[in-house]
Amino acid sequence: MDFVLPAPVKEALGRLEAAGYAAYAVGGCVRDHVLGMEPHDYDICTSAAPQEMQKVFQGERTIETGIKHGTLTVLLSGMPLEITTFRVDGEYLDGRHPSSVRFADRVEDDLSRRDFTINAMAYSPKTGLVDPFGGQADCKRGVIRCVGEAEQRFGEDALRILRALRFSARLGFPIEEATARAAHAGRDMLQKISRERIAAELTGTLMGAHCAQVLADFPDVLCAAIPDLEALTRSDRWPHTLRTLTFAPQDPTLRWAALLMEAPRPDRFDLPYEILQGLKMPTKLCETVRKLTPIENRSFRKGLPSIRWLLMRLGPEQAEQMLLLLEADMLALHPASSEKAIRKEYRQNREELHRLLDENVCYSLSQLAVNGQDMAKAGLRGPQIGQTLNRLLLQVVMNELPNEREALLNAIHQENEDNLRGL
């Protein structure tokens, strides 16, 4: 198998070899090459120790990413290359971190500590593909399989359970039987893993083109990571959630919103937000999902409130996201024969949204043709002012009143008179 490696990668391998060390491209980039996909970055492994690497790349820009663990990042022609000394992990005492890291002499040793066969291949132009665990065959066959004994490997590092789900969701490869069994059996070990690492792997899983299939097969693992999803995954809303996920655009916020849209319960309407906060997700994502998931937003699909109403509730950016989410929700609700019509309808909805924004349509208090001072002049006081402004905004948004000063002031005076007459 011949790979076309980018010039900086070839150069790094060449320089290490010229200095007498073994060096390979390794891991994800080799897997992607074997699968005929474009790697998004290149990792290199080498027999050179960190200090020896530093000598080889003297004069180049380097970042000491993890010297202790044997990793140095080198910038060659603007390309960042993570170069790591061959290593084997010591014993895992806590199910998270190896208690020690030992440098190794042979690339095969380094490959043996890696998680899945498809991730445990190395390549150099000099030696060709190094594939001691049948990674190439598993790429061809299309399976996710642990290197070695699955149960033991998940016992060493339970995060690998979620990594299996992530690669399966991304590549559409089923998880091989023994590996799947060990994933189910070992799911409770996820409690030992930090929330941030869990969140990163779950986001990766949700972003996969095949995430619905994976979550359908591993709801127990999902619930081990997020116990608050137990009720949802056991409910009749779960199949719909999975279908919605398959139609939701591949965007982290929208995928999380699709997963959590059916999660709120009468006693815990803020559950999506609580879950994401618990996972220590970025504040912006937590807040956005919180605004996208309430059930009220979905009354839009029944055709009642207008796009302006969504704009008022959510603002321009989130109104657009909401339309995408509603489209996924609708596609999930209806048979494939309606797909074309639904997609067309929502394309038009988005166009309408853009048109309204281009026309500078009023959807917020700051755009309203009257303000608080006008209300005070009209004799309103305290909380009445805010309430009246909001009511006027809603009337403008619903097209019941034009956004014109005269008309709005008239409406207030009319109201005042009605009030005085005791209506």
Binding site for ligand ATP (CB under 6 A): 27-28, 40, 43, 114-115, 119-120, 157, 159-160, 163
Q: Interface residues for Mg ion in 2-31 (CB under 5 A)?
A: 28
User: Minimum Å distance from CB 118 to Mg ion?
Assistant: 13
Nearer to ligand ATP, 131 or 157 (CB): 157
**Out of ligand ATP, Mg ion, none, which partner does residue 119 contact, by CB within 5 to 8 A per kind?**
ligand ATP
- C-alpha 423/C-alpha 365 separation (Å) is 27
**Out of Mg ion, ligand ATP, none, which partner does residue 160 contact, by CB within 5 to 8 A per kind?**
ligand ATP
**Considering only CA atoms, which of 248, 244, 176 is closest in space to residue 216?**
244
Nearer to Mg ion, 252 or 278 (CB): 252
Nearer to ligand ATP, 152 or 283 (CB): 152
Phi then psi for 80, rounded to 5 degrees?
-80, 125
CA dihedral over 86, 91, 97, 101, signed as positive or negative: negative
46: part of which helix (H) or strand (E)? strand 43-46
Radius of gyration of the chain (CA): 28
Any contact of residue 204 with Mg ion (CB under 5 A)? Answer: no
CA angle 386, 391, 396 (to 5 degrees): 125
**Out of ligand ATP, Mg ion, none, which partner does residue 374 contact, by CB within 5 to 8 A per kind?**
none
User: Minimum Å distance from CB 326 to ligand ATP?
Assistant: 30
Which residue has the closest beta carbon to Mg ion?
28
- C-alpha 390/C-alpha 114 separation (Å) is 58
Decide: 339 and 331 in contact? Cβ < 8 Å: yes
User: Minimum Å distance from CB 82 to ligand ATP?
Assistant: 9
**Which conformational region is residue 173 in: left (phi greater than 0), alpha (psi within -120 to 50 degrees), or beta?**
beta
User: Minimum Å distance from CB 80 to Mg ion?
Assistant: 12
**Out of ligand ATP, Mg ion, none, which partner does residue 308 contact, by CB within 5 to 8 A per kind?**
none
Nearer to ligand ATP, 66 or 294 (CB): 66
**Out of ligand ATP, Mg ion, none, which partner does residue 255 contact, by CB within 5 to 8 A per kind?**
none
Decide: 190 and 162 in contact? Cβ < 8 Å: yes
Neighbours of 196 (CB within 10 A): 11
DSSP per position, 25-74: EETHHHHHHHTT---S--EEEESS-HHHHHHHTTTSEEEEEEGGGTEEEE
User: Minimum Å distance from CB 228 to Mg ion?
Assistant: 30
Nearer to Mg ion, 186 or 204 (CB): 204
**Considering only CA atoms, which of 237, 238, 232 is closest in space to residue 216?**
238
Instruction: Tell me which DSSP letter residue 68 carries.
Output: G
Number of residues that bind Mg ion (CB under 5 A): 1
**Out of Mg ion, ligand ATP, none, which partner does residue 110 contact, by CB within 5 to 8 A per kind?**
none
Longest dimension (CA), the chain: 97
- C-alpha 137/C-alpha 134 separation (Å) is 5
Q: Interface residues for Mg ion in 22-81 (CB under 5 A)?
A: 28
**Out of ligand ATP, Mg ion, none, which partner does residue 138 contact, by CB within 5 to 8 A per kind?**
none
- C-alpha 109/C-alpha 105 separation (Å) is 8
Decide: 231 and 209 in contact? Cβ < 8 Å: no
User: Minimum Å distance from CB 118 to ligand ATP?
Assistant: 8
User: Minimum Å distance from CB 163 to ligand ATP?
Assistant: 6
Nearer to Mg ion, 27 or 264 (CB): 27
Nearer to ligand ATP, 163 or 308 (CB): 163
Nearer to ligand ATP, 119 or 388 (CB): 119
Decide: 241 and 261 in contact? Cβ < 8 Å: yes
Residues forming contacts to Mg ion in the complex (CB under 5 A) are 28
